[in-house]
């Protein structure tokens, strides 16, 4: 029998028990009344002894049944009781009553007569008649109850000497058998009705269960993040919206972003990434109270709302969280770790709507991540100003090429030995809505929003094109700055090849300037790319040397062509700058690369650098960056600070400089 049938049968048995016990008390009382009437109404010395024994037996059976009926009523009725057991108890009671009755009838047919006998027969017959409906919930009892009650007595009457009683016996037998058939029908009908009722009930119940399961599934699908089991964005937003819709105590919203997660995802695989996210979610769950909102906002971002929490304790909690989240994860056979940067927005100080709170906390996280990873910051208005400026610049940058807002200026690089021009460094300028934005401001934004690839390619193409025109036969190179992100792009080598091909510039006249940070990413692939570029004939220099880390070791391991000493050291030539320059020159000698000093602003610096043996000089002392159209005349005029036409020069923002 399958589970559903079992359940159906169980319900049918329970209902049958309810029907049977439902009539029990009235049945017992009627039986008590009729039996007492028969016993006490007729004064017959012949049956008196029998009755004094019989009546207490009947009373005892009825009392037991009464107790059982009461027990069922109070202990079982409203529970998930065992219907079968209850029915068994009930039919034992009923059948015992039937047997006690039949002994009475048999005795009466043989020991009483006249009115008493007739009354007894009629009474017992009507008891048997009533049973058909009252006992209909149990087929065999309802069928055989009248038989047990009537048949032995009726047979007794058949043996009577009186013809009328014999006739009564025949009638009794006939009645008994008619009752047998009627009760069967009535019982079958009742049984069917119970099955039908419960089949429907089970069906409805099953449907309800299914609907409940589906509803739960839909709830999970639409409200929970399948990977971590945390609230998803939609559910979290709904909950937070509810929260801020009525006046509440101040609270803090923490925007958490993992540090170094992408690296694990990319290098070790998404499976490990998923594990990290799950484990992070568990750590957050363990740290957060049931009543506090926690969600996976997306990717490796999570949000927690700490109710009743003000700034100082939010910062304290954030620090503890960062510590917790930064603990190692053991995943398969490796030990991995990520950090977390947290931004905090406070309700109601910073905002009172859910969207704005999240936006501000996100912003705080974003700025903090740029400053120092795995630390915490609270939102400030200054951040918002910077952010809107950043967005404005980013939007402007996306249209800068197409609206011809970009141009390149060129700053000469001079040979120390004879003051001749060795190269020009291409420096990008952007004029956006009448404002010159310095490259130090817009290049990081272009890098951050992925615009640097397009802009970088534009610079390479234009620089090569322009250099191919001014440099004809002069052996003057062009130096192009390349951002780390461009350098790591697989397509970069093609971009360089195309720029050379389209411009016709000899590869030897193209120098690429990269910063030390490219080596932090992946030393081997960087080193390979440099070799590949060099095989093409291109020269590679390290820009801003000394500002990054591991500088000297990088120099030892890399076969670059040139090193550009950062201008901060040149500016400190009087103090410890000279020592650095000397050290770089010594290494340069042994590793065979050339040295350029950037940011040379004075004659004194020029002389000192020349004395130390720096081969190339670049800086305002020799020339500021020049507009491209001024280069031919600049080249014509020869080179030395005194012969430079300073009116052609532009400053870092691209403005022409008037020098008297």
Per CB under 6 A, does 608 bind ligand C2E?
no
Q: Interface with ligand C2E by CB under 6 A: which range of 209-217, 360-368, 386-394, 478-486?
A: 478-486
Per CB under 6 A, does 625 bind ligand C2E?
yes
Q: Least distance (Å) from Mg ion to the CB of residue 598? A: 5
Scanning the structure block, which residue is given the tokens 């397009």?
454
Tell which one of 23, 190, 280, 411 touches ligand C2E (CB under 6 A). Answer: 411
Residue with Cβ nearer ligand C2E (295 or 518) = 518
Q: Interface with ligand C2E by CB under 6 A: which range of 42-50, 316-324, 434-442, 574-582?
A: 434-442
Per CB under 6 A, does 620 bind ligand C2E?
yes
Per CB under 6 A, does 628 bind ligand C2E?
no
Pairing verdict, β 251-259 and 301-306: antiparallel
Are the beta carbons of 141 and 132 closer than 8 angstroms?
no
Of residues 528-547, those binding Mg ion (CB under 5 A): 543-544
| DSSP summary character for residue 649 | B
Tell which one of 599, 608, 616, 649 touches ligand C2E (CB under 6 A). Answer: 599
Pairing verdict, β 510-515 and 539-545: parallel
Pairing verdict, β 406-415 and 376-378: unpaired
Tell which one of 187, 331, 346, 427 touches ligand C2E (CB under 6 A). Answer: 427
Q: Give the x-and-dash track for 540-579 against ligand C2E (CB under 6 A).
A: ---xx----------------------x------------
Using CB under 6 A as the binding criterion, the count of chain residues that bind ligand C2E stands at 24
Per CB under 6 A, does 601 bind ligand C2E?
yes
Q: Least distance (Å) from ligand C2E to the CB of residue 261? A: 27
Are the beta carbons of 566 and 547 closer than 8 angstroms?
yes
Contact residues for 429 (Cβ-Cβ < 8 A; gap 6+): 406, 407, 408, 409, 436, 439, 650, 653, 654
Are the beta carbons of 594 and 617 closer than 8 angstroms?
no
Are the beta carbons of 81 and 17 closer than 8 angstroms?
yes
Per CB under 5 A, does 516 bind Mg ion?
no
Are the beta carbons of 535 and 508 closer than 8 angstroms?
no
Per CB under 5 A, does 257 bind Mg ion?
no
CA distance 326 to 375: 11
Supply angle C-alpha 526, 529, 531, rounded to 5: 110
- When CB distances are held under 5 to 8 angstroms depending on the partner's kind, the choice from Mg ion, ligand C2E, none that residue 68 binds is none
CA distance 566 to 569: 6
CA distance 520 to 517: 5
Tokens of 342: 């947290």
> Dihedral through CA 195, CA 199, CA 202, CA 208, nearest 10?
-150
Q: Interface with Mg ion by CB under 5 A: which range of 36-44, 306-314, 328-336, 481-489?
A: 481-489
Tell which one of 619, 631, 639, 649 touches ligand C2E (CB under 6 A). Answer: 619
- When CB distances are held under 5 to 8 angstroms depending on the partner's kind, the choice from Mg ion, ligand C2E, none that residue 601 binds is ligand C2E
Binding site for ligand C2E (CB under 6 A): 411, 427-428, 438-440, 443, 456, 459, 481-483, 513, 543-544, 567, 598-601, 619-620, 625, 652
Binding site for Mg ion (CB under 5 A): 481, 513, 543-544, 598
């Amino acid at each position: 029998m399958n589970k559903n049938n079992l359940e159906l049968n169980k319900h049918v048995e329970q209902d049958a028990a309810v029907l049977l016990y439902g009539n029990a008390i009235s049945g017992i009382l009627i039986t008590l009344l009729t039996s007492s009437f028969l016993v006490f109404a007729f004064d017959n010395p012949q049956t008196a002894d029998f009755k004094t024994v019989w009546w207490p037996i009947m009373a005892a059976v009825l009392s037991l049944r009464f107790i059982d009926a009461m027990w069922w009523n109070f202990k079982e009725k409203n529970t998930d009781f065992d219907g079968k057991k209850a029915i068994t108890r009930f039919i034992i009671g009923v059948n015992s009553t039937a047997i006690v009755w039949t002994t009475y009838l048999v005795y009466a047919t043989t020991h009483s007569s006249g009115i008493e006998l007739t009354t007894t027969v009629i009474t017992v017959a009507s008891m048997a008649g009533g049973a058909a409906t009252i006992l209909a919930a149990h087929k065999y009892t309802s069928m055989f109850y009248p038989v047990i009650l009537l048949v032995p007595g009726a047979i007794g009457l058949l043996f009577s000497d009186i013809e009328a009683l014999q006739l009564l016996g025949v009638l009794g037998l006939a009645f008994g058998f008619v009752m047998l058939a009627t009760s069967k029908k009535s019982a079958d009908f009742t049984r069917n009705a119970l099955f039908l009722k419960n089949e429907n009930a089970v069906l409805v119940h099953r449907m309800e269960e299914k609907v409940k399961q589906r509803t739960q599934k839909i709830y999970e699908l639409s409200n929970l993040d399948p990977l971590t089991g945390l609230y998803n964005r939609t559910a979290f937003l709904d909950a937070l919206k509810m929260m801020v819709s009525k006046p509440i105590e101040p609270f803090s919203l923490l925007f958490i972003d993992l540090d170094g997660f992408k690296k694990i995802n990319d290098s070790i695989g998404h499976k490990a990434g998923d594990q990290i996210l799950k484990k992070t979610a568990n750590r957050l769950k363990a740290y957060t109270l049931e009543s506090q909102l926690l969600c996976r906002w997306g990717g490796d971002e999570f949000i927690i709302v700490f109710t009743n929490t003000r700034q100082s304790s939010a910062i304290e909690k954030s620090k503890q969280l960062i510590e917790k989240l930064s603990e190692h994860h053991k995943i398969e056979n490796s030990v991995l770790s990520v950090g977390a940067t947290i931004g905090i927005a406070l309700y109601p100080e910073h905002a009172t709507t859910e969207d704005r709170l999240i936006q501000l906390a996100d912003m705080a996280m974003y700025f903090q991540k740029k400053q120092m990873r795995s630390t915490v910051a609270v939102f400030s208005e200054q951040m918002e100003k910077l952010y809107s400026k950043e967005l404005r610049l980013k939007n402007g940058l996306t249209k800068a090429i197409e609206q011809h807002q970009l141009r390149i200026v060129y700053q000469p690089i001079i040979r120390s030995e004879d003051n001749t021009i060795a190269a020009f460094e291409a420096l990008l300028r952007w004029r956006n809505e009448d404002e010159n934005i310095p490259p130090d401001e817009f290049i990081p934004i272009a890098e951050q929003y992925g615009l640097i690839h397009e802009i970088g390619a534009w610079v390479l193409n234009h620089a090569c094109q322009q250099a191919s025109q001014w440099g004809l036969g002069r052996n003057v190179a062009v130096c192009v700055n390349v951002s780390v992100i461009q350098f790591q792009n697989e397509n970069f080598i093609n971009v360089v090849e195309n720029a050379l091909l389209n411009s016709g510039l000899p590869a030897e006249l193209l120098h690429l300037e990269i910063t030390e940070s490219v080596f932090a990413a992946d030393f081997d692939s960087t080193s390979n790319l440099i070799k590949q570029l060099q095989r093409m004939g291109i020269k590679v220099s390290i820009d801003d040397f000394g500002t990054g880390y591991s500088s000297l070791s990088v120099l030892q391991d890399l076969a670059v062509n040139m090193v550009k000493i950062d201008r901060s050291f040149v500016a400190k030539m009087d103090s410890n700058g000279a020592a650095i320059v000397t050290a770089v020159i010594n290494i340069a000698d042994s590793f065979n690369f050339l040295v350029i000093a950037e940011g040379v602003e004075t004659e004194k610096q020029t002389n000192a650098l020349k004395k130390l043996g720096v081969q190339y000089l670049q800086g305002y002392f020799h020339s500021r960056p020049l507009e491209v159209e001024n280069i031919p005349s600049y080249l014509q005029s020869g080179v030395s600070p005194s012969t430079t036409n300073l009116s052609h020069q532009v400053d870092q923002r691209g403005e022409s400089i008037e020098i008297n």
